Structure 1
Amino acid sequence: MTAFHVMAGADHTFSRPAIRKIGIADLVDALKLGLDDFSEKPSHYVFLCLMYPIAGIALAIWSTDQNLLPLLFPLMSGFALLGPIAAIGLYEISRRREKGLDTSWSHAFDVRFSPALPSIIVAGLMLFGLFIVWLFVAQNIYFIYFGDGVPPTLSSFVSSVLTTPEGMAMMLWGDLIGFLFALVVLATTVVTFPLLLDRDVGVVAAIDASIRATLTNPVPVAVWGLIVAALLVIGSIPVFAGLAVVMPILGHASWHLYRKLVVSEG
């Protein structure tokens, strides 16, 4: 049974894994390794990640049906904040592959046996909390410029956003504040979930390692964030279908990026 410990590791001590300095070439290599992991059993991993585009489509339909059009883009963009949670099973597959273990898709659910599961859950809840705060902030930005009225159709909403001064101002502030949310998520989770899966260090140490990795490698981590954002946008264009391919590649690549950023034990 998984012992319940969250803030510190199983031995109740606070560890600080050593961080490496990396370059842009390491990002390219991580992507290549992620693609290699994906290529081993692509159909299995696409199946695992179908939930991501399906959830995206469901959110879009729900926001339209519930007269929540102003939250459509914040929902879609904010959904990406939850990416590290969606990729946790892929980290496990990559971890098993590098150890020469069986990588059948069912092992993605072995995360539930991880001794760090409580810490993983807490880190996931923190991300979900940020997602909710982002939606609240985005809604208030809309209220500032358009009041509490709801556009009758998607086309009228898009038109009011793209062709009015209020819409342009809303997009500007929404993008700036959304960027800050994305920056916080990137800086606090770039290695958090892979580290917790690999070592039961506790959520505080894992987030601390992510922040130190970001501060040690500000340019590579920023470029990584741009790569992730660009690939998610590309994957979302064909009705989110591309995410079923993009997500597993990014998930596997994120594991290999973790290996490059954090010095292994021993």
Structure 2
Amino acid sequence: MVKTIGNPLTWLAQGASGTGRAMGSAADALGSELTEPPETNILTTADIRAALSAGFADFSRYRTDVMFIVLIYPVIGLALSVMAFNEALLPMIFPLAAGFLLLGPVAAIGLYQMSRKAETQANVNWSTALTVLQARNIGPVLAMAFYLLAIFVAWMFTALQIYGWTLGPEPPASASAFLTDVFTTSAGWTMIVTGMAVGFVFAAVVLVISLISLPMLIDRHVGVPIAVATSLQVARENPVTVALWGAVVAVLMLLGTLPLFLGLIVVLPVLGHATWHLYRAAVPQDS
């Protein structure tokens, strides 16, 4: 069925209706129907290829790039504009770009919902993404989102400290001066190497705790501890495959930042849908 672009305010209102009632019972939803992580499957590179293929198919079918243009890209553009006109914030542009790796799972929760609903119903559209706000398990979903947001804030603070220890603490005189210092001084290269090493640790932590947990929270009535434990279990049982998935995500996200983050309009929804399908491959529905 051909999808048309409706009024974003209309489907936003439709999807968000009832959120207040769901939020009122969020404390109830913090419980869990499981007392221990379910059994999980062994993942292979074939599962990664299948997940990416299915993710791209969902993206093409539902044109979820439009959701990101309407809801997310303006925020990205605003943040970049503020940084472009405030030279003191120039050192934070790369950490912000890298931070999309940390916040990507949160931005994708609506996409998980769309791919999930598409398994049992034909009428799936953008407003379907917002029905996640009405779900019984919205409490754990929001709790997990808060934890990932806290990790993102910690990363930004850490990146600022790394700049202060190397090229700082004074802000750069100009964009050209900043780039010159970064690539032509030992302090600049120390900042690059240290920042990449620390950023890798942050990204690895987010990968292993969120790969399965957020899709599982969308899919089942479980609490955050069980969802995170399941995600850790999958990472422990499939270290090579999970590391490969992380590398794929990192490369695609890097490509998505070029030019001017425009590529994220495609990369984020494809990876979001693909993550759902990888979750389905990792956690059997009858477990």
- Cα shift readout 1:84-138 (whole Å, capped 9, x = no counterpart): 0101111111001111242111111001111110101110000010011111111
Hey, what's the Cα distance between the residues in 2 that align with 1:194 and 1:170?
35
State the partner residue of 2:65.
46
Counterparts of 2:264 and 2:28, CA distance in 1: 34
- Report the counterpart of residue 8 of structure 1 in structure 2: 31
How many residues end up aligned between the 2 structures? 262
Residue number in structure 2 paired with 1:60: 80
SS at match of 1:246: helix
Spell out, residue by residue over 1:209-256, the C-alpha distance to the aligned partner (whole angstroms, 9 max, x if none): 111111111111111111111111112102211111111111110000
Cα distance between partner residues in 2 of 1:81 and 1:209:
19
Q: 2:48 touches 2:245 (CA, 8 Å); kept in 1?
A: yes
Q: 2:121 — aligned with what? A: 100
Partner of 2:14: none
Relative to structure 1, the CA distance from residue 197 to residue 156 in structure 2 (aligned partners, 3 Å threshold; closer, same or farther) is same
Contact 1:5–1:119 (CA<8 Å) still a contact in 2? no
Q: Which of 21, 29, 41 is the matching residue for 2:42?
A: 21
Cα deviation 1:24-57 (Å, max 9, x = unaligned)? 1110000011111112132xx1111123333333
The answer for the alignment partner of 1:174 in structure 2 is 195
The answer to whether the Cα contact below 8 Å between 1:84 and 1:189 also exists between their aligned partners in 2 is: yes
Identify which of 83, 88, 92 aligns with 1:71.
92
Identify unmatched segments of 5+ residues in structure 1: none
| DSSP 3-state at the match of 1:68 | helix
Paired with 2:250 and 2:28, the residues of 1 have a C-alpha distance of 33
RMSD: 1.5
Q: Distance in 1 between matches of 2:100 and 2:75?
A: 9
8 Å CA contact 1:116, 1:197 repeated in 2: yes
Q: Is the 8 A contact 2:253 2:264 kept in 1?
A: yes
Q: What amino acid does structure 1 have at the position aligned with 2:73?
A: P
For normalisation by structure 2, the TM-score amounts to 0.87
Cα deviation for residue 64 of structure 1 reads 2.9
Query: Does the alignment pair 1:136 with 2:154?
Result: no
Q: Distance in 2 between matches of 1:139 and 1:60?
A: 17
Q: Is the 8 Å Cα contact of residues 46 and 248 (structure 1) preserved in structure 2?
A: yes
Task: Give the residue type in structure 2 aligned to 1:65.
Answer: F
* In structure 2, distance between residues paired with 1:35 and 1:193: 20
> For 2:93 and 2:61, how far apart are their aligned partners in 1?
35
Matched position secondary structure for 2:72: helix
CA–CA separation in structure 2 for the residues paired with 1:231 and 1:58: 23
Aligned residue in 1 for 2:226: 205
Kept in 2: contact 1:188–1:211 (CA 8 A): yes
Contact 2:29/2:136 (8 A) holds in 1: no
CA distance in 2 between counterparts of 1:182 and 1:15 reads: 26
The AA in structure 2 aligned to 1:47 is V
Identity score, percent: 36
- Give, in angstroms, the shift of residue 6 of structure 1: 5.7
1:249 is matched with which residue? 270
Separation in 2 of the partners of 1:124 and 1:243? 20
